[in-house]
Amino acid sequence: MGITVVFVLCVLTMPVFGAGNTVPKPRSCTDVKQFYAGKGFSVTGLPQTEISGEHLRICPQGYTCCTSEMEEKLSNLSRVDFERLVKEEGRSLQITLNTQYKSFDSHVLELINRSEASLAQTLGPQYHPNARVLQDLFSELRRYYRGANVNLEEALNEFWLRLLERLFKAGNPKYALADDYLECVTKQSETLRPFGDTPRDSQQKVTRAFVALRTFIQGLVTGGEVARKVSQVPLSQECERALMKLSYCPQCRGMAAAKPCRVYCLNVLKGCLANQADLDTEWRNLADAMLKIADRIKLTAMDRVIESIPVYISEGIAYLQENQAVFHSKVFQACGTPRVSGDDSTTPEERPLPTVEKPNATTSPTSEKLVNDVSDKVKAMMEHWVILPSRLCADRVASGTSADASCWNGLNKGQGYLPEMLGDGLASQINNPEVEIDITKPDMTIRQQIMQLKIMTNRLKNALNGNDVDFQDTSDDVSGSGSGVCSDDLCARIIPEISMPNTNQPKPVAPSGDAVRAAASQNPPCVTLCLLSLVTLLLLRR
């Protein structure tokens, strides 16, 4: 009886073949084969019509035109395509920043060259006897601007002291001035101020200008390098699968014309670019600090400061000449009257002087225009990492009034996409329906670049106050201030890439024998604690 019932039910549920009840014929795979061949793959052995998709590992397992080999190759292609797009975006950003850097850098160097070339005209007869000292000053300014480990304040102080030595010797040709006597002369400059207030006033202006300029171009270089390195981070296996499903599974299902639903595409790309989106905070901080430095450069009239260096020197020399008699008298009182040499000739230059090339007379853009151009580009890039998924989805997703009816949702088309759009960054991907992401394992390359941005931003902030950032304690820059930005071993890899300050602290001196014995006579806390514990244990046993 039971067997009969089962047989009847099976008969009733069997399809009835006849008019209007035919089994649908498998669709042709011609379009898919053409698409596959267009990607450079061989179509030999591919199915002519749809087959069962039970062999598929990524795409939906309905009827399909894709074999296992096709799915694997298209999956690799989806990864290559996406990594290429991300690299192009990063390269475009890097080129923009590098272009701004080159234009600004060329302008600054031209200003320095122009200022040096005007020395002879500004100083007149005082130029040639002091040309070596003057040219050494401008060499140091160029080296500092280029990022060399130069203490700008010391370099400027050294320039005025060397200039004083030469002018003092030139003003006292009948005396034999030994090095120790000239050292005594320079020591008097602290109280006698032979050049008046010019060294102090000019030093402040020149230092602020060059600190801002150097840090500004370092910010541009850092931004470009970060963009390059971040855009080369490889995709995870989970992202490769998700991109295959997004990009080429419609082809396998015979839906070549179907484009992904917008939110579906965004969720896939927000997952695959989650680590890059975590750059957003420090990237914005860098851009904001760059804009503030740009305003400072315009406010300090950088062109005028650099071009006025010969004027500052001329004013200092003029002040010394006007007060020469008084200054020499006070020096003789402090250092004694030097021995008469009997030779009235002045000291000749030790080395032949190189020719200073005058810059081209062609009109160049002003600093203000260049700074404005950089500022416009920096403003445009502030949201780069969080809008990157939208940029990459823009041309590939379905649009228009019929988008919901025709878009691909990862399984089919015509049904829309139900999940909500996720937020940006790694922490927002915990419930990503399209990409499986372990939010506890951030990408270390990108964490390193976040640290580089943080350090560069701190430098820019210090430069806003006129601080020479390579000659101060920058321990706060790399400590993370307890923010957990990097682990100890990660920071150890990052810190050597940053030019660390020369604090000029004395080397530690090995303790003497008495000091060692004195230290040994004091019980460290851990020893005292152990002794107390032992005494307590003995008392308890009693």
Q: What is the pLDDT of residues 485-499, one digit of tens each?
A: 333 333 333 233 333
Crossing angle for the helix pair 367-381 and 280-299, to the nearest 10 degrees: 160
**Residue 220: how many other CB atoms lie within 10 Å:** 22
pLDDT in tens, 129-138: 999 999 999 9
What DSSP state is assigned to residue 398? -
pLDDT given at position 253: 86
pLDDT in tens, 430-452: 999 999 999 999 999 999 999 99
pLDDT given at position 404: 65
Alpha-carbon span 388 to 214, nearest angstrom: 30
pLDDT at 153 over 80: yes
Bin 312: left if φ > 0, else alpha if -120 < ψ < 50, else beta. Answer: alpha
Looking at 25-29, 117-121, 384-388, which range is the least confident one?
25-29
In a domain, 454, yes or no: no
Bin 315: left if φ > 0, else alpha if -120 < ψ < 50, else beta. Answer: alpha
In a domain, 41, yes or no: no
pLDDT in tens, 2-30: 444 434 344 344 444 344 445 566 788 88
Range of the domain at 252: 83-340+367-428
In a domain, 512, yes or no: no
Strands 175-176 and 339-340, bridge-based pairing: antiparallel
260 forms bridges with which residues in the sheet?
408
Distance of CA 478 to the CA centre of its chain: 14
pLDDT at 183 over 80: yes
Q: What is the mean pLDDT of the chain?
A: 80
pLDDT in tens, 514-538: 443 344 344 444 444 444 455 444 4
Q: Would you call 45 exposed, middle or buried from its count of C-beta atoms within 10 A (0-12, 13-18, 19+)?
A: exposed
In a domain, 381, yes or no: yes
pLDDT in tens, 452-477: 999 999 999 999 887 766 544 333 33
pLDDT in tens, 254-291: 888 889 999 999 999 999 999 999 999 999 999 999 99
Buried b (16+ CB within 10 A) or exposed e, 387-414: ebbeebbeeebbeeeeebebbbbbeebe
Distance of CA 63 to the CA centre of its chain: 50
HSE, CB side, 13 Å, CA atoms: give it for residue 329.
4
- C-beta of residue 299 within 8 angstroms of C-beta of residue 423: no
In a domain, 120, yes or no: yes
pLDDT at 177 over 90: no
Residues in the chain: 542
Read off φ and ψ for residue 188, nearest 5 degrees: -70, -15
In a domain, 228, yes or no: yes
Kindly report whether the global pTM for this prediction surpasses the value 0.95.
no
Question: Rg of the Cα trace of the chain?
Answer: 37
Pick 123 or 479 by higher pLDDT: 123
pLDDT at 360 over 50: no
- C-beta of residue 259 within 8 angstroms of C-beta of residue 398: yes
Alpha-carbon span 100 to 92, nearest angstrom: 13
Terminal CA-to-CA distance of the chain, rounded, Å? 91
**Residue 164: how many other CB atoms lie within 10 Å:** 24
What DSSP state is assigned to residue 340? E
In a domain, 358, yes or no: no
Alpha-carbon span 103 to 98, nearest angstrom: 9
Total number of domains in the chain: 1
**Residue 132: how many other CB atoms lie within 10 Å:** 16
* Rounded (10°) CA dihedral 336, 337, 338, 340: -170
**Angle subtended at Cα 421 by Cα 420 and Cα 425, rounded to the nearest 5 degrees:** 135
Percent of the chain with pLDDT over 70: 76
Pick 341 or 391 by higher pLDDT: 391
pLDDT given at position 236: 92
pLDDT given at position 464: 87
Alpha-carbon span 200 to 322, nearest angstrom: 19
Read off φ and ψ for residue 223, nearest 5 degrees: -60, -45
- Residue at 452: amino acid letter: Q
Q: Given 3-state DSSP classes, what are the helix, strand and coil percentages for the chain, each rounded to the nearest 5? A: 65, 0, 35
From residue 8, alpha-carbon distances to 5, 13, 14 in Å are 5, 9, 10
From residue 512, alpha-carbon distances to 206, 505, 518, 520 in Å are 46, 20, 10, 12
Instruction: For residue 135, give both structure tokens.
Output: 């040219």
In a domain, 55, yes or no: no
